[in-house]
């Protein structure tokens, strides 16, 4: 594995022409950090249980020979929690369960990918990298949420009734507070540990 991982990501709003391109690029990646939606789209495995989640991880290794896969988050029955799941091609699959925040924050998937790439070195264990990434994310979101609740003049969740200017105001209030969260990024407190899948 190289010191700087090659990353493959895919956003949920994609045209039908895009998935084949990603499928052709995945065999060249060192690590991929798809959301559950993206993982299902790229492997054809619906994530509905712990068993299907494990099958999805295995499908990435089998279909694309990708060394490391981390499904950034999925829901497995409990709407108050999210699960990150990962595996290395010759390693044990694992999950990390963590609390779900009520609000939606833009850029969390991109930040997760950046945190994973920054920490995934040749001698790093994927489960340790994932624990640190989740810990950093939780810290950034907690800081962002505290700020958003302090400054928000409207609900933090999107609404069909919001005007374009209300949408801009809402998005500004939930913009990730990265600079204010530098300690959580550099030295996160790991509260949620990996468990074997």
Three-state secondary structure string covering the chain: CCCCCCEECCCCCCCCCHHHHHHHHHHHCCEECCCHHHHHHHHCCCCCCHHHHHHHHHHHHHHHCCCEEEEEEECCCCCCEEEEEEEECCCCCEEEEEECCCCCCCCHHHHHHHHHHHHCCCCCCHHHHHHHHHHHHHHHHHHHHHHHHHHCCCCCCCCCCCCHHHHHHHHHHCCCCCHHHHHHHHCCCCCCCCEEC
Give the pLDDT confidence score for residue 72 in this predicted structure.
95
Could you tell me the pTM of the whole model?
Answer: 0.86
Give whole-number Cα distances, 127 to 40, 49, 69, 162, 170, in Å. Answer: 21, 20, 11, 40, 34
Give the pLDDT confidence score for residue 2 in this predicted structure.
35
Task: In whole angstroms, give the CA distance from residue 57 to residue 136.
Answer: 23
Give the pLDDT confidence score for residue 197 in this predicted structure.
93
Sign of the alpha-carbon torsion through 157, 10, 39, 181:
negative
Which domains are delineated in the chain? 7-100 (3.40.1190.20), 104-190 (no CATH)
Contact 65, 27 (CB under 8 A): yes
Instruction: Express each pLDDT in 76-118 by its tens digit.
Output: 989 999 999 999 998 899 999 999 988 888 899 999 999 999 9
Which of the residues in the chain have pLDDT under 70?
1-13
């Amino acid at each position: 594995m190289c010191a700087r991982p090659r990353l493959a990501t895919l956003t949920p709003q994609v045209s039908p022409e895009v998935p084949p391109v990603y499928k052709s690029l995945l065999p060249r990646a060192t690590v991929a950090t798809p959301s559950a939606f993206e993982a299902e789209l790229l492997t054809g495995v619906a994530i509905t249980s712990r068993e299907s989640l494990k099958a999805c991880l295995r499908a990435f290794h089998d279909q694309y020979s990708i060394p490391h896969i981390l499904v950034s988050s999925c829901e497995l029955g409990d709407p108050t929690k999210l699960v990150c799941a990962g595996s290395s091609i010759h390693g044990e699959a694992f999950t990390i369960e963590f609390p779900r925040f009520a609000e939606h924050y833009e850029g969390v998937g991109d930040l997760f990918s950046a945190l994973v790439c920054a920490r995934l070195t040749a001698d790093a264990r994927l489960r340790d990298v994932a624990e640190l990434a989740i810990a950093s994310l939780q810290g950034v979101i907690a800081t962002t949420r505290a700020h958003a609740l302090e400054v928000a003049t409207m609900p933090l969740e999107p609404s069909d009734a919001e005007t374009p200017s209300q949408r801009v105001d809402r998005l500004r209030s939930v913009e990730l507070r990265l600079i204010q969260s530098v300690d959580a990024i550099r030295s996160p407190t790991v509260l949620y540990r990996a468990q074997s899948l």
